[in-house]
Structure 1
C-alpha cells in the first residue's frame, strides 16, 4: 500500500472520526517552512488531500519542484521574518520543518498567529523540535535506563531549560497560555528521533547516518564518540510524515482543552540503536564494499568535529534518547516501514557510494 493510500485509510481513525471527505479541506491554507526531506512529503500528502499549500524556499530549482507538486512556492529565507509573519497570518495552518533552534523564526510565526487571533481566527501551528532535547550528557559513555513517554507532560517538561531546542519549545508553550492566543492557537511540538531513509522521488537522503558514512569514506574509519554505549530511538521518514499529518488531523478535530493539555508528540518505530552499533554497521559495510581497509570505529579528534555536528558532536552522537510515541499510537498510527539498517544497506548506502564514485556528496 502506498504512503498516500496508507494515510487516507488511517486519517479517520487518527482523528477519532470517520474518514472526512476531501471537500472538508477545501479552502484551508497551509504554510510549510522547510519543504525538504520531511516537509516536501508532508506538502504532497496535504495537496493530495485538498489543502491549499504554500511553501517557503530560497532556491529556484526547489520552487519549480514545489510547483510541480501542486503547491505555491514563496521565495524567501528563514531570515525574512516579516514575510513569514505575513504568510502565517494568512494561513490556517503553519508547519515548520526547517529547524528546532531558531527562536526568531518561531516568534515570527507566533506573531502571525496573534494577527489572526485579533481577527477572531484560529491557527494550527506544528513546530519541529527534536528528541535531542533529551540529551543527558552521556557522551557515549553509558546507556541510560530513562525512557520518556509523550502522554505524560510532566515527564516531557522535566528536561532542563538549557537542553538542545528547549528555549524554542518553552517560548511556544508560554505563548500558548497568552490571553490572546489561549483560545486561538492549536499548537503541536513534534520531536523526531533519528530519522532515516532515502526519498528517491526527490533525491533526498537522511542526515546523520549518511554524514557518518561520508566521514568514514574521507578518513578511512567510522567515527564514534566515547564508548558508543548511548542509544537512540529511530523512525523512517515516511512513518514520520504520516505522523505529522495524523497530528494535524488531531488538531483540527480535538477540543481546545485537549489541545492545550499537552503539546508534545513523539514519533518512533519501537526500535533503538547504539552509536557503536551505527559505527560498526557503517565500517563493516564500507569494508565489504572495498572502500576502507579497517572497519574499526574510532574516536575522531576534536578538530574534525566540524565535519560531524560541530560543537554539538559529543551531544548529538553521544546522547541517550529513549522515548515512546504513546499519543500517536493512541490515534491509530503505527510504523510500517523497514528498519534502520535494512534501509541503510538497501537504500541509502548505494546512493552514498554512487556520490563518492562521482566525486560529490549529497
Structure 2
C-alpha cells in the first residue's frame, strides 16, 4: 500500500489552520471542513479547498475521508461521532487496499489529577511509556474518544497508520489568522470584567504548555515520520505529547500574576494582585468545569517528538502573552463576557 499527498483537515481552526499553512508550504493538497463562509474564504486564501459542513455531518466526513490519503482532526478532543465518521472512512479505504494516515487531537486534560487548585504534583507523564498514559481512568477527560480510536486501530491493524496528538495548555497568536486560544484569554477577559486575575484554590497546580505554531510544526514532523514508519510501531504506541516547558511549567497562580500585571500596566485594572475566584463567579470562567480546566496538574514530556528531531522554537508563554495575545484581547469589550462555553482542547 502507498499513501499519497491529499490531506483532509476536520476543523482547520486555531490549531488546524496553522497545520494547514505548513502543509501547503510542503506541497500537500489540502481540504478543510469548515462551518462558516468567512472561514472558508480564509483557508482558500491560504491555498486550501473548503468543504462546508459541521462535525455532525457524518456522511460528509466519511466521504471526504475516503477521498483523502491523510486526515487530521483538530476541531475538538471530545466529539466522538466525527472521529467515528473518520474511522468509518478509513475502514472503507482499507477494504479497497488503500492505506490512510490519521492524526487525532486529544489533550493533556486526560492527565487531570483532580487537584482542584490544591497542590503541585510531582507526577510527570512520558509519551514513550504507553503504560503511563494507559494508567489514567477510562472516565478521564477526552479518554472516551481516545479509547474509541485505539479500539478501531486494533480492528484496522496495519491497513492504516493512526496517531493521537496530546497537546497541553496551548498559547500563541498568528497575526495572519487573528485567532486566540482558550484558557489564558478567558482568564484575561474575566479579569477585565471583574478587576482581578483569577486562579482556583491556591493556584499551585501546574500544566505544561506549547505555542500553537510549535504544535503545528509537530503535527507535520509526526506526519513525515508516519509516512515512512511501519504501522506496527503505532499499534504499539499511538500517543504523542507536545510541550515546550520541560520542568519549568508555570503554576496557575503564576499565570494569573502575569495576567494581572499585564492588565495593570495597560491601565485596565487597578490592582495587579491575582485572587482565588469565588465559586459564585465560576460562570464567568469555565462554569462547572472551572476546577478541571484551571485547577489541575497536567505534566507531560514530548520525548517521542524530540526523538524525531522536533524542537520548540517560538516565544515562551509569558513573552507571547505580553507581546501578542494581550494587545489583541484588550481591544475587546469584555463587560458582557460570561465565561467560555465550548469544550477545551487541552
Partner deviation per Cα, 1:289-327 (whole Å, 9 max, x = no partner)? 221122232233334323322221101101101110000
Corresponding residue of 1:20: none
Secondary structure of 1:182's partner?
helix
How much is the aligned-residue C-alpha RMSD, in angstroms? Answer: 1.9
1:296 paired residue among 248, 257, 273: 273
Corresponding residue of 1:335: 312
Corresponding residue of 2:224: 249
In structure 2, what is the Cα distance between the partners aligned to 1:128 and 1:348? 23
1:92 paired residue among 49, 69, 74: 69
In structure 2, what is the Cα distance between the partners aligned to 1:53 and 1:359? 38
In structure 2, what is the Cα distance between the partners aligned to 1:103 and 1:202? 27
1:214 paired residue among 175, 189, 192: 189
In structure 2, what is the Cα distance between the partners aligned to 1:312 and 1:159? 19
In structure 2, what is the Cα distance between the partners aligned to 1:77 and 1:110? 17
> Which deviates more, 351-360 or 305-314?
351-360
Change (3 A) 1:147 1:360: closer
1:59 paired residue among 36, 40, 44: 36
2:171 paired residue among 188, 196, 206: 196
User: How far 1:359 moved relative to its partner?
Assistant: 9.5
2:212 paired residue among 221, 233, 237: 237
Corresponding residue of 2:343: none
Secondary structure of 2:276's partner?
coil
> Which deviates more, 211-220 or 346-355?
346-355
Secondary structure of 2:103's partner?
strand
Secondary structure of 2:101's partner?
strand
The answer to whether the aligner puts 1:226 opposite 2:182 as a matched pair is: no
Partner deviation per Cα, 1:147-204 (whole Å, 9 max, x = no partner)? 00000011111111110000000111111111xx112121110011111111101111
The answer to whether the aligner puts 1:325 opposite 2:302 as a matched pair is: yes
In structure 1, what is the Cα distance between the partners aligned to 2:143 and 2:332? 35
Secondary structure of 2:50's partner?
strand
Corresponding residue of 1:11: none
Which stretches in structure 1 are left out of the alignment for 5+ residues? 1-23
Would you say the 8 A contact 2:190–2:337 is kept in 1? no
Partner deviation per Cα, 1:222-277 (whole Å, 9 max, x = no partner)? 11101001001011111111100011111111012112111000011123110000
Number of aligned residue pairs: 336
Partner deviation per Cα, 1:52-77 (whole Å, 9 max, x = no partner)? 11000010011111111111100001
Change (3 A) 1:216 1:74: same
2:235 paired residue among 240, 246, 260: 260
Corresponding residue of 2:53: 76
How do 1:120-159 residues align onto structure 2 when only pairs under 5 Å count?
A: 120-159=97-136
How do 1:43-54 residues align onto structure 2 when only pairs under 5 Å count?
A: 43-54=20-31
TM-score scaled to structure 2, two decimals? 0.93
Change (3 A) 1:300 1:65: same
TM-score scaled to structure 1, two decimals? 0.89
